[in-house]
Structure 1
Amino acid sequence: MAQIAWLGKKTPFCGNVSYGLTTTEALRVRGHQTHFIHFDNPRNPEESTTSLLANDPDVSLPYLVKSQVYTIPSPGAQRELRDFLEKLRPDLVHASLTLSPLDFRLPDLCQQLGVPLVATFHPPFDSSLRNLTAGTQQLTYQLYAPALARYDRVIVFSRLQAEVLERLGVPADRLTVIPNGVDPERWKPASSGLGSFMQQRVRKRLGKERIFLYMGRLATEKNVEALLRAWRLVSPDGCKLVIVGDGPLRSTLQNTYDDPNMLWWGYEDDLEARVALLQCAEVFLLPSLVEGLSLALLEAMACGTACVATDAGADGEVLDQGAGIVMSTQGVTTQLRTLLPVLRDQPVLTGELGRQARLRILERYTLGSNLDAIEALYSSLIPAAPLAA
């Protein structure tokens, strides 16, 4: 089994955080030793790095600024990272890229230490560049491409994302497509009957209406305002729109669009509650302008929720051929004005879409298949141990 130094994020919550925590936990279950190195200023400045000798330590690097989008490390963070890796002597370094200056220095550092380096590249994209946000994300890809070309392997979530990086000069043989995956035993449809205590608790707060749900960041690239405008225009009878999440636009959107048939749930850090929310929802809505491969979308699909998403990033590929409804990133409000009444009036349709969504997850996007592919990638990069005499 391999010893993996995993560089990633634990806070603030985002898809990168979910990916890192879920993957490292599953790798440990499979017998690998993972050391999670992340940005978190230690509470005790006298802390020693000798804790690296313990099994599966949680190692922190100091930072100046940290957000859901980017991180600015403290001046000494690179030196501390080098010290950590020299003591650990891992078989492989896997960087779930945090969009920080250290991302660009890792290839040199790992080459000096003689350690294979893998990246997972998360930034959202829209290969068609149909809006200003997509253009801004394209700049991120252009900035990162020269550095990614020096990683031993770069994990991307779809063939479309790989093609974007190839056009920017990342060699095709450095790119490996491994889609996100979810645990279908954790994220699954609600059982018949009253359900769990958490399901009952969540349902009580939601009320008796049919639930249409958005779950994610409240930021420009998520285009939530387009959904809110459509909901206000349609005002579907007997339905409630639930907004789960937080972000820089929350107060502005809530003040502008607060409505009796909307529920601003806020950020939900309880995993069981998030599962219950998706199990209670009839329709999951994701109006993003750019995406990578949304974990929230995969989780909703695994729970048997009918899904409507834009074709940003790889989300359209996930839902194509009947696993959901795919919109263009252009004119989302107009498209939703047409779709929302149909979804309201056709519960048989939403039920079938939910069933097809669950099947799609089982076919292509399980955590088990994701881990199988990651382990195969690790095996191709880690030198075989010498045979015993």
Structure 2
Amino acid sequence: MKIVQAANFVAPASGGIRTTLRHLAAGYTAAGHEVVQIIPGEQDAELVRPDARVLQLRAPRLPGTGYRIITEPWRVADLLDRERPDRLEVHDRATLRPLARWARRRGVPSLVVSHERLDRLLGTWTPAPLRGVLPVSTAADRANASLAAAFDSVVATTAWAAAEFVRIGAGNLRHVPLGVELDRFSSAHHDLTLRRAFARDQEALLVVASRLAPEKRVDLAVDAAAELVRRRVPARLVIAGDGAHRGRLERHAAGLPVTFLGFVADRERLAGLLATADLALAPGPVETFGLAALEALASGTPAVVHHASALAELIVPGVGTIAAGSGFTFADAVVDLLSASPAQIHARRIAARARAEQFPWSATVAGFLACHDSPGPAAPGTAFPQPPAPPLAA
């Protein structure tokens, strides 16, 4: 079977979608399928990797981001005519949506992956005076109904991501969680030398791994660091990531025990940082899955996550805390987790790793291949699971 994956928001320093494409392609190839990826780039190019042939299309930069976005979907359609795929997999809900029409005309089964929740994004982007006034949910419902009708399957990675499609009664919704590199991210990468490069022995080491964009709300982690200073809690925050919001965040963090690393291209170094940290913070309220937080759990590092995001599904009792969306409440959660006994901290690290082990990439690949093998509605009994919710940090 020849599978073509088409995606936007893929760049050398991008995170979730790039990681997802890479692991899916490797899994498809290992299963005996041919994989072609169509992604944006600075210029037209064709690259051959062990897991996929990559067709890069010249695309403009999206202002204020590190991304390029394909604005000429007909060029992608021309490539699809040339490649003649057996299945089409689209990782974009914006400019690549017209590819569904190409697939329908050619009789090629298609699926689209919901990497973001439209109603929450529209709410985030709506100016504060207009929130509750503009019909955000209605607009999202109309767009999502059109999307679901265009593709054979809509894949959501969490119940949180699926909620807006459940609300409109989309009958072709499928659930496939993403995965984590369990070999790369583990407690074996704990590095005392690395820790001492960032924090004193008596200080707690907190880590955020995130693209620095407004919707990621890394400012909440900085606010938490400020609150910890006010409470005289010895802690240092290390932020791994880059983006258009970095300058503003650096100004916001001036005078605080906060270190900005920029984008960490070396995955081994990132694995060491996550395994060495005492806690990982994931303050984004619109995270659809949260790969960075899952990588932290795989590293044996508990996480504090925003209650409004999909990560609330990931944090089951004993592996971290769900906090309301403020620096004060994130600081409360940090203090609570750090106050545990050594035995409790050790047990929490073991539980974090065990939770991550429930998300191997092999299961993700199998789930996506099942969608490709049987396009359309999910089989009975495959409803979205809801894990028990731990207490919300005050």
Cα RMSD of the aligned pairs, angstroms, is 3.1
| 1:387 alignment counterpart | none
Cross-structure match for 2:146: 146
Q: 1:73 aligns with which of 53, 70, 89?
A: 70
Provide the TM-score with structure 2 as the length reference.
0.81
Give deviations 1:159-188, integer Å, cap 9, x for gaps.
233231132x3523x110111111212221
Corresponding position of 1:369: 363
Residue 166 (structure 2) pairs with residue 206 (structure 1): no
1:86 correspondence with 2:81: yes
Q: Work out the CA distance in 1 between the residues paired with 2:183 and 2:223.
A: 35
Query: Hey, what does 1:7 align to over in structure 2?
Result: 6
Out of 173, 176, 182, the residue aligned to residue 175 of structure 1 is: 173
2:381 is matched with none
**Contact preservation (8 Å) 2:320, 2:337:** no
Q: Distance in 2 between matches of 1:163 and 1:237?
A: 38
Specify which of 109, 118, 124 is matched with residue 111 of structure 2: 118
Contact 1:6/1:35 (<8 A) preserved: yes
**Structure 1: 5+ residue runs without aligned partners?**
383-389
1:327 to 316, 323, 342: 323
Matched residues in 2 for 1:204 and 1:31: separation?
46
Are the aligned partners of 1:160 and 1:314 in contact in 2 as well (CA < 8 Å)? yes
Change (3 A) 1:159 1:336: closer
Q: Residues 267, 132 of structure 1: CA spacing in aligned structure 2 closer, same or farther, 3 A cutoff?
A: same
Query: 3-state SS of the aligned residue for 2:60?
Result: strand
Matched residue type, 2:106: L
- The answer to whether the Cα contact below 8 Å between 1:301 and 1:307 also exists between their aligned partners in 2 is yes
Q: Which amino acid aligns with 1:153?
A: S
Is it true that 1:233 corresponds to 2:251 in the alignment? no
**Are 1:70 and 1:100, in contact at CA under 8 Å, matched by a contact in 2?**
no
Aligned equivalents of 1:222, 1:280: Cα separation in 2: 23
SS in 2 for 1:190: helix
Aligned pairs for 1:1-389 (under 5 A) are 2-9=1-8, 10-11=10-11, 12-42=13-43, 56-66=52-62, 72-74=69-71, 77-97=72-92, 99-103=93-97, 105-124=98-117, 142-167=142-167, 169=168, 171-172=170-171, 174-190=172-188, 199=191, 202-203=194-195, 205-208=197-200, 209-235=203-229, 237-259=233-255, 261-329=257-325, 332-346=326-340, 348=342, 349-363=344-358, 365-381=359-375
Q: Choose 7-16 or 124-133, whichever is displaced more.
A: 124-133
- Given residue 271 of structure 2, which amino acid in structure 1 is its aligned partner? V
| Deviation by residue 1:29-81 (Cα, 9 ceiling, x = unmatched) | 333211111011326xxx6x8x89x993210122223365975434xx33322
Name the SS of the counterpart of 2:108 in structure 1. Answer: coil
Q: What secondary structure is seen at the aligned counterpart in 2 of 1:214? A: strand
The answer to whether the Cα contact below 8 Å between 1:125 and 1:292 also exists between their aligned partners in 2 is no
Instruction: Please report how far the alpha carbon of residue 295 of structure 1 lies from its aligned counterpart in structure 2 after TM superposition.
Output: 0.5
1:147 positional shift: 2.0
Q: Distance in 2 between matches of 1:177 and 1:69?
A: 29
Please list the CA deviations of residues 337-359 of structure 1 after superposition, one character each: whole Å capped at 9, or x if unmatched. 32233333335344333221211
Query: Structure 1 residues 259, 124: closer, same or farther in 2, change over 3 A?
Result: farther
- Preserved CA contact (<8 Å) 1:125 1:313: no
CA contact (8 A) 2:324 2:330 kept: no
Name the structure 1 match of 2:389: none
Give the percent of matched residue pairs that are identical in Structure 1 and Structure 2: 23
Large movers: runs of 4+ above 6 Å: 125-137
Compared CA separation, residues 201 and 88, structure 1 to 2 (3 A)? farther
Q: Does the C-alpha gap of structure 1 residues 245 and 309 become closer, same or farther in structure 2, counting only changes over 3 Å?
A: same
Task: Give, in whole Å, the separation in 2 of the partners of 1:184 and 1:153.
Answer: 28
* Paired positions, count: 360
Residue identity in the other structure for 2:236: K
1:119 corresponds to which letter in structure 2?
V
